[in-house]
Chains A and B, each alone.
Chain A
Amino acid sequence: MMMKSKQLIDGNLDRNRGIPEISLAQKEYLQNCKRERRFIRSWQWIIMILFLGFWEVGARTGFINAFVFSSPSRVLDTVVSMAKDGSLWYHTGITLAETFLSFFLILLLGIGIAVLLWWNTRLSGILEPYLVMLNSLPKSALAPVFIVWLGANMKTIIVAAVSVAVFGTVLTLYHSFSETEEDKLKLIITLGGGKKDILKKVILPGNIPTVVSLMKVNLGLALVGVIIGEFLAAKAGLGYLIIYASQVFKLDIVISSIFLLCVISVLLYHAIAKLEKR
C-alpha cells in the first residue's frame, strides 16, 4: 500500500516536470533488454579470450605445433613488424584498391548491361540463357583461363573479381527493372514521355533499394574474387601473401594475413551498413 502511493506521487511529480512518466513494467522491460545485451556481449568476449588463451597456451606448452598453427603473440609480432617495414600497408592497400576497383566496375557494368537489356527486349530474350549459364558457372574455374589470356597481373585479378559478381548483378537488376508496375510506365507515356523518361523517372529511382542491397552483396563478392585472383596471378596483396608464405612455410605470415582479411571485411561491412542508413 505504502509503496503504491509513493509511486503515484513520484509519477505525478514527473508529470509536473514535463518528463514522460515511465511505468514500472516499462522500466523492467528496458532493464531486461540491457541485461540481455550485456549477457551476449560478455559471452562474445569470453569466447574470444578462451580461444586466444588456449591457442597461446597450447602453442607455448607444445600441445599444438606453433610452427604450423602459429600463436596469437607470434601473429601480433608479425603484424607489428609488417607494419614497421611497410609491407602490411602495401599488401593490404593493394587488396583494398583491387576490391574497390572491381566493386565499382561490377556496379557500373551491372547497371549498364541491365539497362541495355531492359531497353531492348529482343536482346534480353536472346541473351537470357547465356547470362543464366554464366551466372551459375563457378567463376573460380575461369581464373586460370584469364591468366592465360591476360597474363599474371592486376588485370586478371580485376577481371576475375568482376566475373564473380557481375552476372548475378545484371540478372537481379534486370528482373527488378522488368517487374516495374505497368501502369507506372503508362503514366509517363500519358504525360508525354518516352522510354528514356520511363528509365530516368521511374525505373532508375525506383530501383535504388535494389542497387543498395546489391552493393552490400557485391562488396563481399568482390573481395572473394580479388583473393581468388591474387592466389593465382599476383605479385602483391593479401591473397598473394597467403599463398607465398604457405609455400615457404611461414605460417605466422599466413595467419596474420588472414587476420588482416578479417579486419578488412568487418570494416567494409560497417561502411556499407552506414551507407544503407542514409
Chain B
Amino acid sequence: MSFLEISDLNYSYHTKAGETKALSGIDFNVRKGEFLSIVGPSGCGKSTLLNIIAGLLPLREGSITMEGMPIKDHRDKIGYMLQKDHLLPWRTTEENILLGLEINKIQTKEKLLLAEHLLKQYGLYEFRKVKPAELSGGMKQRAALIRTLVMEPELLLLDEPFSALDYQTRLSVADDIYEILKKEGKTAILITHDIAEAISLSERIIVLTRRPGRIKKEIEVSLTMEDGKKPSKPSEGRSAREFAVYYQKIWKELMNHDDEI
C-alpha cells in the first residue's frame, strides 16, 4: 500500500457553454516522503488534479486514498500552496502565518514556537510585524510556505509555487523548501512548467497529455554529481551528469502530441 493512491480518476467541468473533460483515467501512487512532479501542457488539468486531492473540487469518478483511508478523512493533513502567495494585506506577516492555526483554533504553545522557529529559519523574524506590502516577492512566497508548514501537513501540494519569483529567488526558495520537506519527511506533489525545476527537485516526474489530461509517461529521476555522490541540494543537481538527458526526454514527451489517441 502506497501513501497516496489515485485510481481511475476522471473529472469534467460543467458550464452553460458545455462540458469540459479535464482529466481522464488518472492512475498513480505516491510513496511516503517522495517528491513527485507533474508537468504537462497548459490547460491539461494539473491544477484540477491538485484541487481534487485537496478537496476543493468534488471527487466524482475514481478513488483517492491516503494511508488506505478515503482522502476526505485526511483533509487536515494536506497543505496546499497556490501559485500566488495570497497573503492578506491587512494582516502582518505573523498574523498571516497564524491564519490556519486561528481558523482551526489550535494556537497551542508548540505551534506558536514552531511558527517562531520557521520565521527565524526563513529570515522573516525581523519582518514579523510588517504588512505584506513591505515584503519582497521571495519573502512573501516564504511567508506563504510557513503558513502552510505550521499546519504540519503530511502531504504538501504545490501548484507552481515559484512561478511568480525571479530566477535567483526561485532557485533559493526551491532549495529551502526542498530541505525542509526532506528533513521533515513530508510527501510533496509539485506542478511546474519548468522542466529543469522538476528534474532538480523530484524523485519521479509524471508527464500529462493535452486536455483531457492522461498520464503519458512516468520517469524516475536519479541524479549523480561528478564525484559520484547525490546532489546535496536541488540547485546543485542542475549540473548533474544525467540532467541534460532527462531534460531531452521530458521535452520530447511534452512536444510530441501526434501519438495521442
Contacts and interface: CB of A to CB of B under 8 A. Distances in A.
Contacts, number: 45
B88 A189 contact: no
Contacts of A190: 54, 56, 78-80, 82
Given A183-B82, A192-B76, A192-B104, A202 B56 contact: no
A184 interface: yes
Nearest to B89: A206
Chain B CB within 10 Å, residue with most, of A183, A189, A192, A205: A192
Q: How large is the interface on B (under 10, 10 to 19, 20 to 34, 35 or more residues)?
A: 20 to 34
Interface in A194-210: 197, 201-202, 205-206, 208
A186 interface: yes
Interface secondary structure of A, over-half rule: helix
B100 A206 contact: no
Interface in A170-222: 181, 183-184, 186-193, 197, 201-202, 205-206, 208
B75 interface: yes
B90 A183 contact: no
Given A188-B103, A190-B79, A192-B76, A183 B56 contact: no
Interface string A38-74: 0000000000000000000000000000000000000
Given A186-B56, A201-B88, A202-B88, A193 B103 contact: yes
Contacts of A201: 88, 99, 102-103
Interface in B66-115: 75-76, 78-80, 82, 84, 86, 88, 90, 99-100, 102-104
Interface string B155-199: 000000000000000000000000000000000000000000000
Interface of A: 181, 183-184, 186-193, 197, 201-202, 205-206, 208
- The 9 closest A-B CB pairs, nearest first, are A191-B100, A190-B80, A193-B103, A187-B86, A197-B103, A192-B104, A191-B103, A205-B90, A183-B86
